[in-house]
Amino acid sequence: MLIMLGVLVLLAGGFLVWGWAVSFEPKPVSVVPVISDAEAPKLKVGQSLKVLSWNIQFLAGKGHVFFFDLPGNKGPDEMPSQADIERTLPEVVRIIKDENPDVILLQEVDEGARRTYHQDQLQRILALLPKEYSQNTSAYYWKMPFVPHPRILGSVGMKLSIISRYKINSALRYSLPQAPYPPVARWFQFRRAMLEARLAVEDGSELVVMDAHLDAFIKTSELKKQETAFLAKRFAALDSLHTPWIFGADMNMLPPGFYARTPKAEQYWFRPDADAGPLYASFNALPTLAGLTGPDSLRNRTHFPNRPDATGLDKTIDFMFYANSIAVDSFTVRQDDCLKISDHMPIIARFRLHAI
């Protein structure tokens, strides 16, 4: 008995040492690598800039109900097949090529994850895009060589990625507020983040573009309120420096006042007192409230849930925000030919950088 107890103590101790050594412990703010050609073009003062933001759902495609898609982790599926990924990858690239954006903000990009066969999905996408998209930067927000969850049992690696036609001077990863998990459990959780890249402008100034994927698995409103407060503080800081900025994200929250309009089966994931209202009240938002409530409101829905009974797009949880010094020429949610690519639709805006 004593020998068995000793073995168990050694195993537990070994697990704790291993977890401490390999866990992903990002700083509140950290510099992340940038891939950018010294000869890459810089933005011109006054030019227009087309930005596409998209949660590509780790190239899994539609047709699955993953375990985390239903309350209690009761979804039947754990991972896409390799065939699913091979079908979805060229479709993502097709949409990007057709839209021809200047800046691409991607969420749920896997690298080194068991569920996506340890592929580097960003590099697979870049390999199929024109060479002018070689400027890029990424930041992990889930990373661990092994997660002992019974529906995972392997490595995880998920990133935010920014791809640009224009020169990226530098990039930072900001840690978003995190739920207070116990120390050991925290090792295996998402480390939600915002990725911020600074694009060079010919006159020596910079345009800041930001990419984020906010928390989805919450039990209280407090964390979502903390996330929106964090973003508001960062946006206001850039405004105070007269630095133009554009933000795109899967925010996993509803537009202000939309909880009651959301299907009952989806309300589980949201809180009526923790929507995007504070950001809409203080900053320029896309889609606009008029777009969300007017006659074309259906064209501004961004999410097609992986629920067995879901028949189409039923809400908006993907947004862009931008500085007062920037104007908008157009905004669209690309829906019709994207319904089988991801549970999120790409959102696309053309901005005018007249005040840079």
164-185 pLDDT, tens digit each: 999 999 999 999 999 888 888 8
For residue 19, what pLDDT band results from cuts at 50, 70 and 90? low
CB-CB contact of 244 with 293 (8 Å): no
Q: How far apart are CA 303 and CA 310, in angstroms?
A: 11
Ordered by where they begin, the domains of the chain are 27-352 (3.60.10.10)
CB-CB contact of 166 with 37 (8 Å): no
For residue 15, what pLDDT band results from cuts at 50, 70 and 90? very low
CB-CB contact of 317 with 254 (8 Å): yes
35-72 pLDDT, tens digit per residue, is 998 899 999 988 999 999 999 999 999 999 999 999 99
pLDDT higher than 90, residue 26:
yes
For 193, 215, 271, 303, the CA distances from 252, given in Å and listed in that order, are 13, 6, 11, 10
- Predicted confidence at residue 24, as pLDDT, reads 86
- Predicted confidence at residue 11, as pLDDT, reads 46
Classified as helix, coil or strand, 67 is helix
- Predicted confidence at residue 356, as pLDDT, reads 44
27-37 pLDDT, tens digit per residue, is 999 999 999 98
Mean pLDDT score across all residues of the chain: 93
119-159 pLDDT, tens digit per residue, is 999 999 999 999 999 999 999 999 999 999 999 999 999 99
State the average pLDDT over residues 216-238: 92
For residue 331, what pLDDT band results from cuts at 50, 70 and 90? very high
Q: What percent of the chain has pLDDT over 90?
A: 85
- Predicted confidence at residue 14, as pLDDT, reads 56
Task: State the angle between helix axes of 82-99 and 121-128 in degrees (0 to 180), rounded to the nearest 10.
Answer: 50
94-107 pLDDT, tens digit per residue, is 999 999 999 999 99
For residue 78, what pLDDT band results from cuts at 50, 70 and 90? very high
State the average pLDDT over residues 331-341: 98
Strands (E), the chain: 29-31, 34-35, 48-55, 103-110, 135-147, 154-164, 168-175, 193-200, 206-213, 245-250, 284-286, 318-322, 327-333, 347-352
- Predicted confidence at residue 2, as pLDDT, reads 57
